[in-house]
Chains A and B, each alone.
Chain A
Amino acid sequence: MRRVQRAVALALAVGLAGCSGWQSALDPHGTDAARLAGLMWFVMATCAAVWVLVVLTLAPALWRRRAPRPDPLALDAPRERRMRAVIAGAVGATVVVISVFTLTSFVTTRGLGVTGSDEPTIRVRGRQWWWEVEYLDRDPARAFKTANEIHVPVGRPVRLRLEGDDVIHSFWVPSLAGKQDMIPGRTNELVIRAERPGLYRGQCAEFCGIQHAHMAFLVVAEDEVAYARWLEIQRSDAAPPSGPEQEAGRAAFLSRQCAACHTVRGTPAAGTTGPDLTHVGSRRTIGAGLLDTTRGAMAAWIADPQTLKPGNNMPLVPLDADALRDISAYLVGLE
């Protein structure tokens, strides 16, 4: 029995040690996630102890030696009384444990989402099946939209305004904070604060339709300088095409259906159905975390989005090989 327990404990330790990575609740890199992880370890350890106690009581109850009892109705009155007392004690202990849990979780909740005074505010809208990210600013001219990649400054709280555009989605970056639903008709708030620079992956956590599995995003935590530089780049209009290939790509992009759904600031393309592509070349992934941003991936995505991500909202656009090559070159060049 003990060997079994030791094996179980070992397996547990190994399994949980594997809980690191860029999308793990037990590998926190944000202030809230760290608080949550602390609470989770405390609660799990206590619960594990409770389980061991129960099993340790159950085992002798089953296998202890005892005298035969021919009459099933003959009960040992003093022992019944003793057992009643023990059970009363155990129930009392249960009450204590759950009271402690309730209090701890209440205190932890109050400590979450602490904000400063002038933190950046980002509106994130969940859409089927990508994330529209809008950096708000007091000066509306300085606000801008991007998609599927959120840059945050390290060590500063960032306020997220979470909205659902079509169906319910849930915003979750386990390494930084707990999740919060994005509900049509409502606005929820979440504050995240990354403690270390890095890439943190998030994923939609509420079933939202056929491509729920491919609805990921990245949070990029970087120092103030890099963050400010990134903001400036993102605020600017799209880079003009360099070279004849990109030139042709731009022309094709505008004349074909791309511009009906996508915006590229600085060009007539101003569609709002799909992600803003003004700086799509600077993002690490396309298709909401589906593929790395390379020219080949871009071409593959445009050529056949319904095979790469079946059921997504990007319609297949009939393009010949030249147009496909030019457009992908143009888009990847939009850094």
Chain B
Amino acid sequence: MRRRAVSTGFAALVLVLAAGGCQREERQTRLDPPIAAALDGVALMPDRISGAPPAVYVALGKPYERNAFNLAEGKRLYGWFGCAACHGEGEGGKGPAFLDGWWAYGPSMVSIVSSIRDGRPHGMPPFRDKMTTEQIWQLAGYVQTIGAYSAKTAAPGRSDAKQRRPAENRAPAALLFDPGPTPLHPDQGPEP
């Protein structure tokens, strides 16, 4: 009787935690080539703003938004591929800022992936030949996190080096968001 109750409780605990922690911490250092190819199949709207992610991405449980390891990898790729040269630590420069919560092409993963992969007008180069699909998704997830409106549980940790902006796990965009004098475009604000 007691044993059964204990084991039921234990099973319930496992289930609760499994639901919360599912694949949050899995670390895959190398994606299977078929999955990587499938991830490449982003269905974009004709204006290349927003669209549908490939089915496999949803089936995997959106690992590039929810898995801290992938986000941390994205953060490293951000440094290695020289994103900071134009975008700074997210505050922008030659390129647009991510920290202010304004997204020229919308905040969806699909748009960000497309921006990185295919490039955008006014200077954003395509990284299609320089990065693997997996890396593009990791980087996109990190970029989305920089401009997050609400704090995320899965976020890369703050860097040990001195920083000029709030850490990624603290919803920097919500802290720094400035809607400006004009009303929001549906795709550009914290509350569409």
Contact = CB atoms under 8 A, between A and B. Distances in A.
Q: Do chains A and B touch in the complex (CB under 8 A)?
A: yes
B162 to A, nearest CB: 13
B30 A317 contact: no
Interface stretch (A22-30, A94-102, A225-233, A256-264): A256-264
A21 interface: no
Contact of B131 (A307, A310, A318): A318
A307 to B, nearest CB: 6
Interface in A259-298: 260-261, 273
A261 B81 CA distance: 9
A242 interface: no
A260 B82 contact: yes
Contacts of A257: 80-81, 130-131
B135 A315 contact: yes
B182 interface: no
Interface string B55-76: 0000000000000000000001
Contact of A306 (B30, B77, B130, B160): B30
Contact of B130 (A210, A273, A311, A317): A317
A236 interface: no
B81 A318 contact: no
Interface string A179-221: 0000010000000000000000000000000100000000000
Contacts of A306: 29-30
Contact of B30 (A184, A260, A307): A307
A257 B79 CA distance: 13
B29 A311 contact: yes
B29 A315 contact: no
Interface string B9-38: 000000000000000000101100000000
Contact of B132 (A260, A261, A316): A316
A315 B30 CA distance: 10
Interface in B145-175: 160
Contacts, number: 39
A311 B81 contact: no
**Interface class of chain B by DSSP:** loop
B47 interface: no
A67 B41 CA distance: 90
A251 B87 CA distance: 28
A257 to B, nearest CB: 5
Interface of B: 27, 29-30, 76-77, 79-82, 129-132, 134-135, 160
29 contacts: A210-B27, A210-B29, A256-B129, A256-B130, A257-B80, A257-B81, A257-B131, A260-B80, A260-B82, A261-B80, A273-B79, A273-B80, A304-B30, A306-B30, A307-B30, A310-B29, A311-B27, A311-B29, A315-B77, A315-B80, A315-B131, A315-B135, A316-B30, A316-B132, A316-B135, A317-B132, A318-B130, A318-B131, A318-B132
Given A313-B76, A317-B132, 11 more contacts: A210-B29, A256-B129, A261-B80, A304-B30, A306-B30, A310-B29, A315-B80, A316-B132, A316-B134, A316-B135, A318-B132
